Amino acid sequence: MSAIARSAQDGATLLAGLLLTAITITAAVQAPVSPTDNERERGVSIAREADRRDSGWRDARVEVRMILRNQHGETSDRFLRSAWLEVPGDGDRTIVIFDRPADVKGSAVLTFSHKSGDDDRWIYLPAVGRTKRVASSNKAGPFMGSEFAFEDLASQEPEKYVYRHVRDDVLEGASVWIVERDPLDPRSGYARQLVWYDQAEYRPRKIEYFDRKNELLKTLTYDQYERVDRFWRARIQVMVNHQTGKSTRVEFGPYRLGSGLTLADFSVERLSATR
Amino acid sequence: MSIRCADVLFLWLILIAIPTRGSTQPTLGGSVEVGARFFPSEGLSAPQGQFFPVFQGTLQTARGSEHHRWRFNLFGRADVRDRRSSHADVREATWAWLPNQTWEMRGGILAEKWSFTESNAVVNVVNQRDQLEAPNGDARLGQPGVSLAIRLPAGRLTVYSLPWHRSWRFAGAPGRFRPPTELDRPETARGTAAYAARWDVRARRIEIGLSYFEGVSRDPAIETAGAAYRVIYPVVHHTGAQLQLLMGPSLLKLDIAHVKPREKASFIGFTLGGEWPLTLGAADLTVLAEFTYDQRGVQAPTGLDRDLLLAARWNPNNAAGTEATASTMIDVRSGAQMLRAKFSRRLSATWRWTAEAHALARQRRGDFSYWLRRDSFVQVAIARFF
């Protein structure tokens, strides 16, 4: 066998091997499989450790700009302010106040996340002058016309998912774990999600969202991480919808952690007074 | 806006201008809306017009510090055809003092909406209806007063002192949504004070409110006196209860009130219903159904005595913030109907346009709203928000 022929055969073997590996990885990544106990335990432990490392900031405030881009490349802006409060033994409480577009200026949404069951949500609309309970149905619905669904923005409590460690990988030069998480809520818009956690700091670097037909729907990437006190916060998040070609870029201002917000600041009674 | 309201407004503006430690910069927002409203039918009386330019606006400002909150909401409409329909009203101008997490005191011009239901508000007794904005059943006049709230181990108790009363006001001769003959001037003194208290509590799936009001009723008793109408605002003891239950994704609601006018027989009224959200892909479709009962029957000044609301609200959750609602209110006794449709869409970050149509059908003589039978209209408007 000539050197060229041997080289070609080696190449074919290598190619077949690579192809087989790729198929195996693709199958592992794309098809929901019954996780082994080991995969489940590793997945849960990574998610819990990520959650533990991101606990203890008490409360947080940040100003946010969302840039919505449609399939034609046209953009529109949303400006809002967010505040969070950690609640021991329960999910976070969140207030989002809208500044722009101008017709929703002053509207505020208060969410009580829970470790199990539906989140509670109220909305204050200044035009109506009333705080209204929101019946929580459309978790998969877009937030303000963006590519973020309400459930993407809700507090990501580990208790809301079933986890599975898929494999170790490298992402942009950093060692990562790929963990699959399947929402327990039957009304979630997703069959499953794949989260890339960096091994150094347990930060999510990328999330792929698969729709109910198990087809890739969206990819969220985290960028420009910076340390605020001992916590990591991404200044940029970009969500790309692969099925529509639309995308949303979120730019976060400086985070203020532990500024002394209390449960009363996150109460339904005071939502109308929040500005 | 009355002179007294103007005085309160002036004092309030002084208060908001005083710098306080740790306070945030005041936020400012509002809108200016222009458009046209057309009534296909001639009015019941000759001077009533059919075409009305729409020119209205809102102004909101708010400011807060650790222990203080200021809020100010102004609404105004200019009507070039009917001077009496041109009006401005301070919907709310309050200063709130929150010394700690237990107490909260507010004073100024209050806006209180206690009802959970949408089609009627038998429990909203603090603020008077703005009859000049009659198609918008939610429009309420600002109410001068003070309130003191205390957080209890279970819920919150708020007491109110409401030092004077505001009456219904109708459009002038060229305007619409008014009775065919002039209502006489109410005899009630404006300085008549009222007192109210409300306890409310909420848990994950339930919200409850219990309220009591004593003073001059916001809803008048309207009696026919020959060809004219006589307007009487009786002193009432008004006891209300509000209940909202979250059942799965659905909301069930009940507002109920027992009213005892002085020297008259008592009556009850309630609105019972719910809303059911449906998901259609990315869009939300909310279906509402509510039934209103008023023991006064056709004497009910809202015109709602045995009426069923069926409504659908569609929100595609798109970037343009499109909203569409359609509803019908059916008087199950007489068959009279009020149909409404509204569509609204954002044109840019600051502009939004709205189209709406209100149609009245099968109004019967004897119904309180019989005088509105020719007031079906269509309206198109564009609003600039800032």
Using a pLDDT cut of 70, give the percent of chain B over it. Answer: 90
- Provide the domain count of chain B: 1
Q: Does B102 touch chain A (CB under 8 A)?
A: no
Q: Which residues of A touch B (CB under 8 A)?
A: 68, 70, 76-77, 100-106, 114, 117, 120, 126-130, 133, 135-138, 140-146, 187, 262-264, 268-269, 273, 275
Q: Which residues of A touch B276 (CB under 8 A)?
A: 135
Greater model confidence, A124 or B303:
A124
Supply the pLDDT for residue B245: 96
Nearest Cα to Cα of residue A150 among A162, A137, A133: A137
Contact A219, A247 (CB under 8 A): no
Domain annotation covers residue B191: yes
For position A2, what pLDDT does the model report? Answer: 40
- Looking at the partner chain, which of A100, A114, A133 has a beta carbon nearest the beta carbon of B244? A133
Tell me the Cα Rg of chain A.
21
- What is the span of the domain harbouring residue B230? 3-274
Q: Where are the domains of chain A?
A: 47-273
User: Which residues share a beta bridge with A223?
Assistant: A236
Q: Does B154 touch chain A (CB under 8 A)?
A: no
- Whole-angstrom distance, CA of residue A161 vs CA of residue A189: 13
Cis omega before residue A88 (within 30°)? no
Q: How confident is the model at residue B194 (pLDDT cuts 50, 70, 90)?
A: very high
* pLDDT of the residue at A269: 82
pLDDT at B8 over 70: no
DSSP-derived secondary structure letter, A158:
G
Is the pLDDT at B181 greater than 80? The verdict is no
**CA-to-CA separations, B68 to A81, A128, A134, B8, B23, in angstroms, rounded:** 20, 23, 28, 18, 8
Tell me: the pLDDT tens digits for B99-122?
988 899 999 999 999 999 999 889
B159 assigned to some structural domain = yes
Q: Do B62 and A141 touch (CB under 8 A)?
A: no
Among B150-164, B181-195, B210-224, name the most confident range: B150-164
* Neighbouring residues of A147: CB distance < 8 A, sequence distance ≥ 6: A68, A218, A239, A240, A241, A246, A247, A248
Q: What pLDDT does A137 receive?
A: 62
pLDDT at A134: 85
* Closest by Cβ to B113, choosing from A68, A104, A129: A129
Asked if B279 and A127 come within 8 Å (Cβ–Cβ), the reply is no
pLDDT of B58 higher than 80: yes
- Whether B348 maps to a domain, the answer reads no
10 Å CB burial of residue A73 (0-12, 13-18, 19+) is exposed
pLDDT digits (tens, 9 = 90+) for B235-265: 999 999 999 999 988 999 999 999 999 888 9
Query: Between B17 and B320, whose confidence is greater?
Result: B320
Give the predicted TM-score (pTM) of the model.
Answer: 0.85
Alpha carbons B198 and B196: distance in angstroms, whole number: 7
- For the residues of B322-336, what is the DSSP string, one character each? -EEEEEEEEETTT--
Q: Tell me, what's the pLDDT at A138?
A: 67
Structure tokens at A18: 């690579």
Q: Does B247 touch chain A (CB under 8 A)?
A: no
- Best mutation target among A137, A267, A270 (most B Cβ atoms within 10 Å) is A137
Question: B286 at the A interface (CB within 8 A)?
Answer: yes
- State residue A28's pLDDT score: 44
Q: Which residue has the tokens 């929040």?
A: A274
**Residue B7 is part of a domain; what is its CATH number?**
2.40.160
How does pLDDT run across B362-383, given as a tens digit for each residue? 887 777 678 888 999 999 999 9
A205 with A221: CB under 8 angstroms?
yes
CA distance A31 to A191: 11
Q: What is the interface pTM, i.e. ipTM, of the complex?
A: 0.86
By C-alpha distance, the chain B residue nearest A135 is B249
pLDDT band at B186 (very low <50, low <70, confident <90, very high): low
- Burial of A1-34, coded b for 16+ CB within 10 Å and e otherwise, reads eeeeeeeeeeeeeeeeeeeeeeeeeeeebeeeee
Query: Are the beta carbons of A127 and B101 separated by less than 8 Å?
Result: no
pLDDT tens string, chain A, 275 residues long: the values are 344 344 444 444 444 444 444 444 444 444 455 678 888 999 999 999 999 999 999 999 999 999 999 999 999 999 999 999 999 888 899 999 999 999 999 889 999 988 877 888 898 988 788 888 987 666 777 888 899 988 888 878 888 899 999 999 999 999 999 999 999 988 888 999 999 999 999 999 999 999 999 999 999 999 999 999 999 999 999 999 999 999 999 999 999 999 889 888 898 887 877 55
DSSP-derived secondary structure letter, A36:
P
* CB count in 10 Å sphere of residue A36: 11
Class of domain A47-273: mainly beta
* B57: CB partners within 8 A, 6+ apart: B30, B31, B32, B33, B75, B76
Q: Are B102 and B150 in contact (CB under 8 A)?
A: yes
